[in-house]
Amino acid sequence: DTAVSQTPKYLVTQMGNDKSIKCEQNLGHDTMYWYKQDSKKFLKIMFSYNNKELIINETVPNRFSPKSPDKAHLNLHINSLELGDSAVYFCASSQGAESTDTQYFGPGTRLTVL
Amino acid sequence: SQKIEQNSEALNIQEGKTATLTCNYTNYSPAYLQWYRQDPGRGPVFLLLIRENEKEKRKERLKVTFDTTLKQSLFHITASQPADSATYLCAGILTGGGNKLTFGTGTQLKVEL
């Protein structure tokens, strides 16, 4: 009965590869997010979707492409991986898109680029 | 520039004492601040939200204050327990930030027996 789940939990890959991280929420929420947490534990938003529409798109390299096939899923595809992409990526969801709506985070995906 | 800052040094306290963590904001006035807890290897978990017109908010052993004069929020855990050991993050919306939550870097709390 996991609320927000991500796969895989760990991802180790070589520079230049393309990889995807999947996220699913079973809370019935309308809004989903991707965050990046770097080695200094700084958590920064990357993208947000509300009802499958992109509503937040931070200054992120266009190698990162989110896709929301439906309200319950938000996947993150990364092309041409670079060393600096190594981080923990968190998916989150909230009932609505208001900033006061509580966000529920997934367990994270630790990406290591070699 | 606008900032949300937390003391990056770890806080070690003895079990049973009150832990106090600080979140300072500069160059803007948030309408509210949120506090989250993050355990190693896990995602943040929402704890409390306090609005600028609320001086204090409580939830069980947790208490959050918001001081617009000092431009800070304090997060207190009373009767702390080793299970309270975690990193605590504060977050807010910067002016012009739309609905994007900006997080502080978090303060690691360790409660010792």
Q: pLDDT per residue over B24-52, tens digit each? A: 998 888 889 999 999 999 999 999 999 99
Per-residue pLDDT averaged across A66-74, rounded? 94
Per-residue pLDDT averaged across B67-77, rounded? 94
Render pLDDT for B99-111 as a digit per residue (tens, 0 to 9).
789 999 999 999 9
| Among A78, A71, A77, CA closest to A24 | A71
Per-residue pLDDT averaged across A6-12, rounded? 97
Pairing between strand B56-59 and B45-51? unpaired
pLDDT of residue A1: 62
Q: How far off is chain B from A25, nearest CA to CA, in Å?
A: 14
- From chain B, the residues in CB contact with A41 under 8 A are 87, 105-106
Beta-carbon pairs below 8 A across chains A and B: 50
Q: Is the pLDDT of residue B97 over 80?
A: no
Tell me chain B's radius of gyration from C-alpha atoms. Answer: 14
Q: How far off is chain B from A66, nearest CA to CA, in Å?
A: 17
Contact between chains at B100 and A45 (C-beta distance less than 8 A): yes
| Among B40, B17, B26, B19, CA closest to B104 | B26
Please name the amino acid found at residue B74.
Answer: L
